[in-house]
Amino acid sequence: MKQMNNIYLFAFIQANEKSKKAFLIFLVLFIFILLIFGAIYALIAKHMNKNAKVIDTYMVELCQYKIVNNPDQFFKAVKYYEKRKIHKAIKWPMRILIMMGLFLLIYCLVSKDGTTKKVFSDFFDLFPRFKWQTVKSVNEELKAVGSSARVVGISWMPVSLIPQVYWNKINPKDINLYISCIFYIVLIVLFVKISLDALSYTARIIRGKEKSRTVFEQNLDEYNYFNSNEPYLKPVVNNNVNTQNQVITPQVNEQPNNQINNDMNQVNDSNNNNQF
């Protein structure tokens, strides 16, 4: 292995200046791209980890009061909450997006030809355009001038790392420019908002699935049949109600609670309709 490394090092030293420069430029470029991808990955991972914990705020109480008793019920409850939360989070961004789309559609239909193109492209004229000269474009320019000289190389290869910068003309009096700007800015903001909420939803669903497997795990590590004289009772977690290990014995009510009956029916219905 060490010998192989030495061979590569030797080959690098033997290479000419141009090859060394090219190699170093590619190395720097690769590290730069890695940094960008790493930063995006880290940001998304941080956002998802932070938001995944939200399920704890409601699921702990549901478990404490034994409203969910097994992994399936746990996961169904998480989906029940999250379906509603994602709808609540993105309903206004989506409504704005739909209304904006409808407005643009009507505007483009009633205005004169070429408006659609202007609405969708004028925003980009605010930014500089970069163009790298390639072997092909330089040769075409030389041919157009009438020169017989040609640059040797593959047609798509850039001849320089520094691009040509040019600006497109904009017309400040054109209302389409402002409509285009508003459309793209709103689109970017809403896209970011919806994307973040979609990632949060996914993170919570994943955490719900993971936790449903571990929350109801039974552990025999701390339990021995012969060492215990009383039933192995977990402390009831509701501090307001029960302070000690306590078995709650059911008391017969005089009247049945219709609300529980209704709730049971509704939950059965909602579980049956659970598509997402």
Considering the rule CB under 8 A, would residue 119 count as an interface residue with another protein?
A: no
CA distances from 61 to 56, 86, 118, 246 (A): 9, 21, 55, 18
Output the 3-class SS for 143-208.
HHHCCCCCCCCCCCCECCCCCEEECCCCCCCCHHHHHHHHHHHHHHHHHHHHHHHHHHHHHHHHHH
Considering the rule CB under 8 A, would residue 29 count as an interface residue with another protein?
A: no
Q: Which two tokens stand for residue 143?
A: 């041919």
Orientation angle between helical segments 71-110 and 175-214, nearest 10 degrees: 170
Amino acid at 134: T
The smaller minimum CB distance to another protein, of residues 134 and 212, is found at 212
What residues form DSSP beta bridges with 42? none
Find the shortest distance in angstroms from Cβ 50 to another protein: 17
Per the CB < 8 A criterion, the answer to whether 172 and 140 are in contact is no
To which residue do tokens 């497109």 refer?
A: 168
Find the shortest distance in angstroms from Cβ 201 to another protein: 6
Considering the rule CB under 8 A, would residue 231 count as an interface residue with another protein?
A: no
Binding positions for another protein, 189-218, rule CB under 8 A:
194-195, 197-199, 201-202
Considering the rule CB under 8 A, would residue 34 count as an interface residue with another protein?
A: yes
Considering the rule CB under 8 A, would residue 227 count as an interface residue with another protein?
A: no
The smaller minimum CB distance to another protein, of residues 11 and 60, is found at 60
Among 54, 71, 94, 151, binds another protein (CB under 8 A): 94
Binding mask 53-72 for another protein (x = CB under 8 A): -----x--xx-xxxx-x---
Among 51, 52, 75, 86, binds another protein (CB under 8 A): 86
Among 3, 16, 259, 272, binds another protein (CB under 8 A): 259
Orientation angle between helical segments 54-64 and 17-52, nearest 10 degrees: 30
What whole-number distance in Å separates Cα of residue 143 and Cα of residue 139? 6
To which residue do tokens 């699935």 refer?
A: 209
The smaller minimum CB distance to another protein, of residues 3 and 239, is found at 239
Residues in contact with another protein by CB under 8 A are: 33-35, 37-38, 40-42, 45, 58, 61-62, 64-67, 69, 77, 80-81, 83-88, 90-91, 94, 194-195, 197-199, 201-202, 236, 238, 240-241, 248, 250-257, 259-261, 263-264, 266-267, 270, 275-276
